[in-house]
Every structure is written in C-alpha cells, then in structure tokens.
Structure 1
Amino acid sequence: MKKLLLLAFTAILGMSVNAQESLLSERPDGVVKVYDRSGKGIKLQQGDGGSLEMTSLDLSKASEFEVVFLADNKTVYVKNPIVALPETFSDVSDRWVKGSIEGNRITIPHRSLILSIKTDQDQTLNIYMGYYGIENNQASPCSPSVDVTYTINGDKITLDAPGTDKVYVLSCIGEDDSWFRMSEYTGAFYTLNQEKTANDITSVEKENNAQAIGETYYDLSGRKLSEATKGVTIKTIKYSDGTQKAVKSISK
C-alpha cells in the first residue's frame, strides 16, 4: 500500500517513479545521540478516492531523532529531520542531512536535499526541507527564506520557529518552494534517550597501533567537560596518525 502512496504522490506532479537516487542513507561516523520525539506533524495517507490526504502525525510514535556529532565540533548530521516523509512512504529509507553546530545551536541550510527521485521521463524530482508559515488555513513559504535551526538545552533539542507571528512548520518542499505538506510543527522537542544513546555510541577509528595523544570528555547532552565526572560520559580519543574514536566512559 505504501508503494501505491508513493506513486499517488508523484501523480500530483504528473510524474511516476522509476528509481530513487542515492543520498546519504548510512549513519556517518561520530558521536551518536538518540532522542525521543515529541510534538505534532503532518503526514499523508491514501483517501477513499485514491488521492493523498493530510492527517495528523504524533511524533512520539515515530522513529527516533538521531544526531551525529563529528570530531571537529562544527559538523553534525541529523537523521530524518522531517519524519513524516518515511512515515508516509515506507519506500523512503533513512536520510542523514548535514548541518553545523555553534554553541547550543544546530543550523541546517534552507533547501537541504532530503530525497531525489528519478521519473520515467528521465527527469529528477528533488525534495528539500524548509520552513512554511500557516495563517488562516493557508500555507506559504517564508520570505525571505531562513535556515532551519534547533536549540540544544541540556538533554533536549527544540525545533525553532523563524517567527512568532503565525504557526510555522518544517516541511518537505519542491524545487520551486511548492509545499509537499509532510511537516513537523515548530516547537517539537526531542529528549535524549540515555539508554539508547549509551548503546549507540560509535567509533570514528580504524584498527591501528597509533599512539593516543589526547582525550576530550563530553556529557550526554554534548557539553564539553574538563575531566571525566561521575556517571556516563563520552570520551573522544585522538591518535598520532590523525584518527580518533569515541567511547562510552562510566565513572563511579
């Protein structure tokens, strides 16, 4: 049924699906943090007449919000920033979108690519992410456009709104900024799942005999620590050959 939904979706644009182009579907190496979603979204479902209709999405029932923090302390990758897309179409695998981090703010550029579909006319349909405003039941793109931002506050991440004058959603958008409806409402927040985070920490390393030349500690909310503290922390080890790894450290 989900495959039929995908076909119906492309019919909106007068296209049919042939194959999906490859995007970043594998989790990058780095320090992984897993968050439980909370909030509301919009997904699509097939109506009685075969058309796609909007329906509410409870984010707490969707897959987790994951962030990979790279060792440069500047780059992050976010998995499925608009979870309504894979919730609507099971054909769509996980997508990782690149962003930057400065202080407690994550920024993903406006119109970052999240899906690319090749049509049977050998055309490419690209789907991007961006803010839309909703006022008087009418949706319109932000003008001028703004980058997507998230604010980290302890063990929570919040999807920021670009303004307070109306309701805003983070949406799937087209090349021409057309609204594809699948969205997450701003104000959605993501709470760190410490159990899953502790189990999902991955290494940024290769097997070698290089000498360790430095260690950096972080708590599970991403704050840099001067030294290991009681409880679970993340230790990043740098090696003389330029490689590094992140490991879970438990101190009592």
Structure 2
Amino acid sequence: MSTRGSAEPFDFDGDYGGDYEYIARTVIPGYLSTFRQALALLRGRVGPGPRVLVVGAGTGIELVTFKTAEPAWRLTGVDPSRQMIEIARHRIREAGMEAGVEPGVEAGVEAGVGAGVGAAVRLVHGHVSDVEEEGFDAATCFNVMHFLPDDGAKQSLLRDIARRLAPGAPFLLFELHGDRSGPRFDELFSAWSRYWEIHGMGEAARAAFRAKIDEGIHWASEARILELLAGAGFEDAWRYYRALLYGGWISRRAR
C-alpha cells in the first residue's frame, strides 16, 4: 500500500497496484506466512470478538486470512488506493464474505454491499486519519511505512494508529528496513535481489524494480523504528520476525 500519488514510483492505482499480489509473493520472503504469524500472535493477546484495524488493506489477503480463521473478529481495513480497495473487496467476496466500503479521502466513492454496517469486513477508502472509530482492540500495519519519508510522515502514521487503539492493545508492524550505512546492508540487499531471481523475476523486471526501490523506498534502521514506535505512544516493542531486509515487530499502545 502506498499513501502517495500516481506520479510516485509505486503507483497503487496503476500497473504496480494491479500486479502487487504477484510482486509481493515474489519479493517478500514468507509473504503468506507473515499473516498467519500475525494471526497467531494476536490470538494470544485479544479476547473474543475483537475489533481489529488493518492499515494497508492492499489486496485483502490479510483480511481474508484473519476472518477465515476467526469469524467473530470485526475487521476494518483502510487503504488510500481505490484500486486496492476494489481488489480487496473482490477477494473478500470470492471468499464468501461480505465487504462494506466507506468513503474516506475521496467524497462520493460508491459504497459496497452493506456499506460497512453489519458487513463481515469494513473497508475504508482513505488514510488512518479518516477512520473515525477509536478504541480498537488490535491493529496491524504491513508493508506501508517504508513508502513514507522520515520527515514526520512515518511518525504521523504511527501516532494516528496509536490514537485509534485502546490502551494496552497490541500492534504489529511489518516493514522493509535497514541501515544503509551498516556493515551488512549491502550483503543483505544483494541476497534479497537474488531472491527475486530465484522466484522467477526476469532481468528487466529486476532492474525496473530496483529503480523503484532506489527512488521510492525510505529506509529506516531497526533502532529508528523502535524510536518511532516509542515516540508514537507504543511500549514493550520487540522484533518477532526477520527475513533478509524484512522485519516484524510487536508492541502495545501505552497504558
């Protein structure tokens, strides 16, 4: 999911968004298992029927994974890309679930079946700041923050999420990360690019994807990510997962 416009290298309302599922499965180690890991971690920290905020609804695979395993969970997915919202709605309906869509950043977006009220999954076309509901019992944010520059945008996103969580509620963050000046970054990046090749991405596609990364990814070290989480009002943050340059952290809204 990207929070930026179509002029950016990662255009989620254009060709990149349309190909996102294939790209994610190709370049993210353990892509599908990351959602199951999140489910396993959240199951141990929430009660029955929790309200869960999914930031970066994307293609809807995270929402369907959660809802299939936990039908009582009340899910709200938010994404600023109209194309991503439509792909997510289609996937949710294919899974036999009902998806309600509510307008956010763009007035007049057509509401889907259920319009959120009574729907199995509520989708919001917009940013986290467009989600009016507060007091969520948990939240996730996967593959979003690395698209944002560290000029206050990363911190603002995390603060917006924290404000919508109940005190003590768990939060899972999964991101591409790294210290570009660190001793292992170049080795890990080279291994990551070879991973794309192993998964069948051709030479031209790899070069194009590398150009997008060089222009559109805003790296942050793990130390900086922990600092940003603390600054946004999260506590007890620790990394539960790492695969090459991807990492997953769990924390909770400060009490």
TM norm structure 1: 0.28
TM, length-normalised to structure 2: 0.28
* Bigger radius of gyration among the two: 1
